[in-house]
Amino acid sequence: MEAGLFTANNIWMMICTALVFFMHTGFAFLEIGLTRQKNTINILFKNIFIITVGLLMYYIGGFNLMYPGFAEGSAGILDFGGFGIAAPENGMTPEYADGGYTWWTDFLFQGMFAATAATIVSGAVAERIKIGPFMIFTILYVGLVYPIVGSWQWGGGFLSTLGGDDAGFYDFAGSTLVHSVGGWGALIGIYLLGARIGKFGEDGKPKAIPGHNIPLATAGVLVLWLGWFGFNGGSVLSGDPELTSLVLVTTSLAAAAGGVGALILSTILYKNLDLTMFLNGILGGLVGITAGADLMSPNEAVVIGLIAGLIIVLGVAFIDRIRLDDPVGAVTVHLICGIWGTLAVGIFGSKAGGDQFLFQLAGVGAAATFCSLTAFIIFYSLKKTVGIRVSKEEEVDGLDLHEHGMDAYADFRMNQH
């Protein structure tokens, strides 16, 4: 491979790394926008903790746990390539990764993905979780759970070879391996935590607890959409002109269709133009296309996104109906739409077929089992030892005051409800 092409590929991957990093701004804006003012510092603190400690955990052992170099004939379930990120001999040459990028770029790009999984959990458990136990959960989930599941597919583990070398489970950029991994953690977290005070009335009916800054939430979704160009575009793993441009087109069309699908259904069902449903519909479309963005035609991307948008509206209502409290809709967006996107690879696109659908189902099942069990063990152990929920007084006054002794808008008094 000529040096110019190698350089161009590597630059594209570094730009995508930066875009995925920028998604953490989007997550932070979305989470604080959809929750109450009194918990803003707490949520921002969690988000900054996730990206800093998540990256360090990935450096210490996560990267080599996710890409351990499974031995020939191994079960492909668990292996470890050693601590640290010492580069292999050919790590800076075109021989590494077919000339798509260098070893350092590989580490950083994958490290940005790793932190995303815990950020998904942060939004779901917002406004009532103790900060200490959440930090412990983040360390274990990003340091161990995420890399192990990733190794099953992207690290050459057992999912990547289901049904033979060329067949197998397929997850282009992580509908299951990133979004559902975070989604299962979120689901278990909110189940063990319980709902926020005032979320369900005495009659058991869910009540809306409005977010304090919808403009920020909107900015957050637009930042996430921008970041997804790196999330999916970088998952081509080179600057291949045809594939990268197709992936950006399918990603954007699915996002647009998801937003419109959620808008139409929520308007029919609730008779009002709900911006937060519109926004979550966009995210649902993005999560839905993530597993097969490189396999789909533009038409198929629109259908996948549209269905994801409908799933958002029904999923949010379902989560409320089973009395789970998810302040930002993370379970519906990342878990339910993540499952949909993964299964869609078996229904649409160039790999569609009965066998592929079963491989996709197996991948969803493997992630569901492992992530639910590990998340339950971590959260339940914390609940029984140190406790995971703040006191009623702390929750009512706000976590900013009690956990951090700070106010997010010290000189800017909005109505303090």
Buried b vs exposed e over 282-312: b needs ≥16 C-beta within 10 Å?
bbbbbbbbbbbbbbbeeebbbbbbbbbbbbb
* Range(s) of the domain holding residue 54: 3-404
pLDDT given at position 166: 65
Examine residue 416 and state whether it is found in any structural domain, yes or no.
no
> Would you say residue 234 lies in a domain?
yes
* The token pair that represents 99 in the structure block: 């000339």
Token pair in block for residue 263: 């808008």
Q: How far apart are CA 28 and CA 41, in angstroms?
A: 10
Evaluate whether residue 410 is within a structural domain.
no
CATH number for the domain that contains residue 273? 1.10.3430.10
Residue 175 lies in a domain: yes
Kindly state whether residue 145 falls inside one of the protein's structural domains.
Answer: yes
Q: Does residue 202 sit within a domain? A: yes
Residue 413 falls inside a structural domain: no
Residue 402 tokens read as: 């009690």
Whether residue 249 lies inside any domain: the answer is: yes
- The 3-state DSSP class for residue 343 equals helix
Number of domains in the chain: 1
Q: Which residues contact 253 (CB under 8 A, 6 or more apart)?
A: 298, 301, 302, 305
pTM (two decimals): 0.96
Q: How many other β-carbons are positioned within 10 Å of the β-carbon of residue 255?
A: 27
Under a CB-based contact definition with an 8 Å cutoff, are residues 19 and 229 in contact? yes
Please list the pLDDT of the chain residue by residue as tens digits (417 residues): 788 999 999 999 999 999 999 999 999 999 999 999 999 999 999 999 999 999 999 999 999 999 999 988 888 999 999 999 999 999 999 999 988 999 999 999 999 999 988 899 999 999 999 999 999 999 999 999 999 999 999 999 999 988 776 678 999 999 999 999 999 999 999 999 999 999 998 888 999 999 999 999 999 999 999 999 999 999 999 999 999 999 999 999 999 999 999 999 999 999 999 999 999 999 999 999 999 999 999 999 999 999 999 999 999 999 999 999 999 999 999 999 999 999 999 999 999 999 999 999 999 999 999 999 999 999 999 999 999 999 999 999 999 999 999 999 987 665 555
